[in-house]
Copies of this chain bind each other. A is one copy, B any other.
Amino acid sequence: MQKTRLFTPGPAAVPPETLMEIGRPTVHHRKKVFKDIYAETIEKLKEVFQSTGEVFVFAASGTGAMEAALLNFTSPEEKVLVINSGKFGERWEILAETFDLTPISLKYPWGTSASAEDVEKILEENKDIKAVFATLSETSTGALHPIKEIAEVTKKHSVLLIVDAVSGLSADRIMTDEWGVDVVVSGSQKALMSPPGMGFICVNSKAAEVYKNNPRKNFYWDLKRASKSALSSQTPFTPPVNLIVGLLSSLESITSEGMENLFKRHDLLARGTRAGIKAMGLEVFPESPCNGVTAVKIPSPDKIGSLFVGHCQDKYGVIFAGGQDDLKGKLFRIAHMGYYDEMDVVTALATVECTLKDLGERDVLGQGVKAALEVFTSRK
């Protein structure tokens, strides 16, 4: 017997309780039974977004929700600033180009994070910028962006801040209302501990004025239509009922743990993972790592780069993600966003140790695990 364990940054692990809920008979979405579930789901999502604003649920991937956000909060030809230091920052840029915006690209090397000063400088020089597109945690590199500081700048300049928190939400802190983030996008299959199939958008009152007056003609992604349906705890089109029923179970677990405890747990797991990785003599890739996923440089990439991730999966049933695009064969990524605890980190690190030995790279058996356990036992 070999168990399979998902350590990928989306889909990430899903609690069995959530899977069981998803497997319950489908209910009808226009009936009270669903409206009650949906109303509760939205309330709990607001808690997770830390916002009193509107929250919308789409049957879509996270990218669908990003597209919806862009279409509802920008008009063609508008100048926008896009922060791009990885695959998902790049996605904002491609979306902006696809839908006729005039994006200024604030590009950083993959693995680095944006600086609020750079954002401010560009906003000073381009008073006609309407919105800034940013990423909370860049899944492709494991880098965390300073959204709080960027929000201070966007507030000062009265431009909209639209953040992709697809993999970040509930793993890394984002205080939507307190920080003044205008639009936050997320997805189901990351730290929200659900299978893929749902995209979310959280909108504060300032941003609500923008979508309500947006001249683009939308249909499936139309937030005006969705907002009207939301008055009676409904979606305009048939929602992914079973996935939403499962999501509520995961959200109950998240909100009963409490957002502060959740951030603490993710911080602990991330610190333990990084300590373990460093104890093996490996290098964490990003300068400012996020708490949901740890991207690690594969040592001797020419020798074992193309084998590493496959070996972990085939021999130990542990599924890591590799690097994307130019980082293929150079990185592996360990997710610990959502349904993960200390012993999961131990499993991940032990697999890395065994694989390093199996592939003839180095023998550090037990060293990474020991370092992580020291982090875990030294917490107050």
Cβ of A8 under 8 Å from chain B: yes
Are A196 and B239 in contact, CB atoms less than 8 angstroms apart?
A: yes
Cβ of A100 under 8 Å from chain B: yes
Cβ of A87 under 8 Å from chain B: no
Are A10 and B238 in contact, CB atoms less than 8 angstroms apart?
A: yes
Are B241 and A11 in contact, CB atoms less than 8 angstroms apart?
A: yes
- Contacting residue for A197 out of B23, B99, B100, B197, CB 8 A: B197
Cβ of A242 under 8 Å from chain B: yes
Are B237 and A240 in contact, CB atoms less than 8 angstroms apart?
A: no
A23 partner residues in chain B, CB cutoff 8 A: 19-20, 22-23
Of A48-56, A58-66, A255-263, the one contacting chain B is A58-66
Are A217 and B98 in contact, CB atoms less than 8 angstroms apart?
A: yes
Of A24-32, A149-157, A276-284, the one contacting chain B is A24-32
Are B313 and A31 in contact, CB atoms less than 8 angstroms apart?
A: yes
Given the complex of chains A and B, what is the CA–CA distance between A238 and B99 in angstroms?
Answer: 21
Interfacial residues, chain A to chain B (CB-CB below 8 A): 4, 6, 8, 10-11, 13-14, 16, 19-20, 22-29, 31, 59-64, 67, 94-95, 98-100, 187, 189, 195-197, 217-220, 236-243, 313, 319
User: 25 A-B residue contacts at CB 8 Å?
Assistant: A6-B27, A11-B28, A11-B238, A14-B25, A19-B23, A19-B24, A20-B23, A26-B189, A26-B196, A29-B196, A59-B60, A59-B197, A60-B60, A61-B237, A63-B238, A64-B237, A99-B219, A189-B238, A189-B241, A195-B241, A196-B238, A197-B240, A197-B241, A197-B242, A242-B243
